[in-house]
Structure 1
Amino acid sequence: MVSVLVCNGNSVDGVWVIAHECGHQAFSPSLFVNDAVGCVLHTMLLVPYWSWKYSHSQHHANANSMEKDSVFVPRTDLTANLKKKREPSAFQRLINLARMLLVGWIMYLLINAASSKVDAKKGKKSTGVFRFLEKWNSHFNPFCNLWRSRGQKIGVVASDVALFVWAWVLYRLSLKFGVLAVLKHYFFPYLWVNFWLVTITYLQHTDWAVPKYYNEKWTWLRGALGTVDRDFGLLNILHHHIGDTHVLHHIFSQIPHYHAQEATKALLDSHLIDEYYLCDPTPWYAALWRSYTQCWYVRHDQPITWFESFKAKLN
């Protein structure tokens, strides 16, 4: 039974990738079709489609910028807990890693975890509950500082409405088939989808070889090239090659997954990015443990900075 749930989660992660392509306008030439399909698929995976679409576009526009990126922005030597005398034990790290993989995506949507700091809005200060709503940077909150236009706020509300409708559907299914059936056939695979989503994106953007940039040194192309292609074996097929063609995706985000392999080959054959292309053959599980235990923080006083380990702060 567990193997069936795992297989379901792996397959549904491919559905997540299709919705992701809709957000990039890579699924169809039609904006309406992209948004309709993307909204349905992402809503069924408890993702607020338009909210995610807006924040994800900021990630692609500002990849690896310490000030503006919205995904896996690392701690600095100022914000990391560097006062500890002892390095965390392997068991502590394993527990923290499991927590990140299982609830990290949910926390990102809920409180914008692992993102760069969002500046407060200028102008008249709100009070009371509205002040709280402005400060609560969440993909479910249309009043927060993440959104810069009225159209984006309307999109957030539309995403929330879609999620309420889907929650009602799940409620009706639980009444008809039982709560345990919904947990077994929906929520457990859903958690596995989240596991792969966090694993893949974390490994794409967290590695010894990935530089992070501050404003004066950051450029769009530098940021786009600062991601890692990895081979996930058979899972490449189930996940529509989101893991092994990600460098291409950051440069040409409107190329659909079914052309990503040939486009990556063409890009590499051109030798235009030979010096900058990052590809790691390390098995994903070994790379995950290495990155999580060794990529502890980056420095705040270097315009181009790389990850350093916990031990480095002792030297």
Structure 2
Amino acid sequence: MSANIEKTVYINLARYTQPDAGKSWWVFLSASIGAALFMFLGFYVYQFGWYYSLIAYPFVWIFWSRLFIIVHDCGHKALFKDQLSNDIAGTIAGAFTTVPLPLWRFIHDQHHKAVGHLEKRPINPDLWTLTVEEYKKASIVKKLIYRFMRNGMVRVFIAPAMLFILGRFPFPNLSWQSNVSIIAMDIVLFGVGYLVYVNDAFLMVTIVYLIPLYVWLSFAAMMFYMQHQFEDTHWYEGEDWSNYKASIHGSSYMHFGPFMTWMTGNVGYHHIHHLNAGIPFYKLKKANASVAQMLKVKPISFWNCIPSLKKKLWDENKRELVPFKDI
């Protein structure tokens, strides 16, 4: 019976993988133009007083969030039918927040291959997660590093800077396309940095661009955390793992209000996305409705996820995340 349900779920979701070219171009162009206009507004009003630039912050965050889901979908080649359109839109959208499309495509593909799989954690760029036994056997230095990396304050205030800085360096374990995209982005950033320096515009760029980017990356880091590190998440081993189980039990279904759902591009339907990454973000809600009765996954709210920040280790006996105090 469960095998039949699984097959039916995949068949139903496959019906939503065809992108609507008109809608795809609309969401890309509207988000790009919106972000560019409000970034320009921030720079323009700076001349009248730095505090006027703060007016642009919430609007920039909104359109950056929309642009990021576009980068995400282009990375999966889901926003457009053809590769070229996905590459063009994803590259432009990624430039706003310095996210090279090939880099994102590579690391995110690795994530999809290994999500919820304990044995594939080394190739999964998700948040570092140790089991209780691994933590007990770890050296004092490793335990301290792990506690630092899993600290909520680090996640909010330090992770954004780490994401930005580490994203500037090529690594041998990345694909060559990823490393080329990093170098290309670094060349562009160096050129922009030189113009900022010669025009003595560092303070302006910091207030109008770098500070809102830092805050937005903090928001993005928290969203990434809650997609797989929630109260009832599951991890699997060996043949017990399947994409189906990892998607519906190890990926969150978060309930947001209408505005937050629109701003984040239906990111709350993360379990549906992992079941079929080829569905454009604007079809996720309808895709979820088509299989909701079969999956019976209960949605969780943003606030319900906050207590999960205390859960740091996977207990293989209890089959759940537990806090440090429980060991």
Normalising by structure 1, we get a TM-score of: 0.73
The equivalences for 1:237-276 within 5 A come to: 237-242=262-267, 244-268=268-292, 271-274=293-296
Contact residue 65 and residue 212 of structure 1 kept, 8 A: yes
Change in Cα spacing, 1:75 to 1:105, as seen in structure 2 (3 Å) is farther
2:97 corresponds to: 45
Identify which of 145, 150, 155 aligns with 1:100. 155
- Shift in Å at residue 4 of structure 1? 4.0
Superposed displacement of residue 202, structure 1: 0.8
| Unaligned ranges ≥5, structure 1 | 84-91, 112-137
Contact kept, 8 Å, 1:102 with 1:194, in 2: the verdict is no
How big is the alpha-carbon RMSD for the aligned residues of Structure 1 and Structure 2?
A: 2.9
Match of 1:76 in 2: 131
More helix per residue: 1 or 2? 2
Structure 1 residues 74 and 3, CA, compared in 2 at 3 Å: closer, same or farther? farther
Residue 219 of structure 2 is aligned to residue 196 of structure 1: yes
1:177 Cα offset (Å) = 7.0
What corresponds to 1:307 in structure 2? 321
Q: In structure 1, how many angstroms separate the alpha carbons of the residues matched to 2:197 and 2:261?
A: 33
Q: How far off its partner does 1:278 sit?
A: 4.4
Q: Tell me by how many angstroms 1:239 deviates.
A: 1.5
Alignment of 1:93-242 (within 5 A): 96-107=151-162, 140-142=169-171, 144=172, 146-147=173-174, 152-173=175-196, 175-176=198-199, 178-225=201-248, 226-233=250-257, 234-242=259-267
The 3 A distance-change label for structure 1 pair 7 and 232 is farther
| 2:111 maps to which of 47, 55, 59 | 59
> SS of the residue aligned with 1:212?
coil
Give the whole-Å Cα distance in 2 for the aligned partners of 1:110 and 1:200.
19
Q: Distance in 1 between matches of 2:234 and 2:165?
A: 27
Letter in 2 for 1:273: L
Query: What's 2:85 paired with?
Result: 33
Any idea what SS the aligned residue of 2:232 has?
Answer: coil
Deviations 1:111-134 (A, max 9, x none): 6xxxxxxxxxxxxxxxxxxxxxxx
Contact 2:233 2:320 in 1 (8 A): yes
* Residue 296 (structure 1) shift: 2.1
Residue 100 of structure 1, CA deviation: 0.9
Structure 2: gaps spanning 5 or more residues: 1-50, 139-146
Asked whether the 8 Å contact 2:160–2:214 carries over to 1, the reply is: no
The CA distance in 2 between the partners of 1:227 and 1:39, in whole Å, is 27
Q: Contact conserved, 2:103 with 2:177, CA < 8 A, in 1?
A: no
1:247 partner letter? H
- What SS is found at the alignment partner of 1:298? strand
- 2:278 match: secondary structure: coil
Contact 1:174 1:181 in 2 (8 A): no
Residue 76 of structure 2 corresponds to residue 24 of structure 1 = yes
Deviation at 1:105, TM superposition (A): 4.7
Asked if the contact 1:11/1:239 (under 8 Å) is kept, the reply is no
Aligned partner of 2:304 among 268, 287, 300: 287
Q: CA deviation at 1:154?
A: 3.6
Aligned residues: 261
Aligned partners of 1:291 and 1:43: how far apart in 2? 33
How big is the shift at 1:252? 1.5
The residue type equivalent to 2:295 in the other structure is I
TM-score (norm 2): 0.70
**Which stretch shows the higher mean deviation, 181-190 or 66-75?**
66-75
Displacement after TM superposition at 1:251 (Å): 1.0
Counterpart position of 2:314: 298
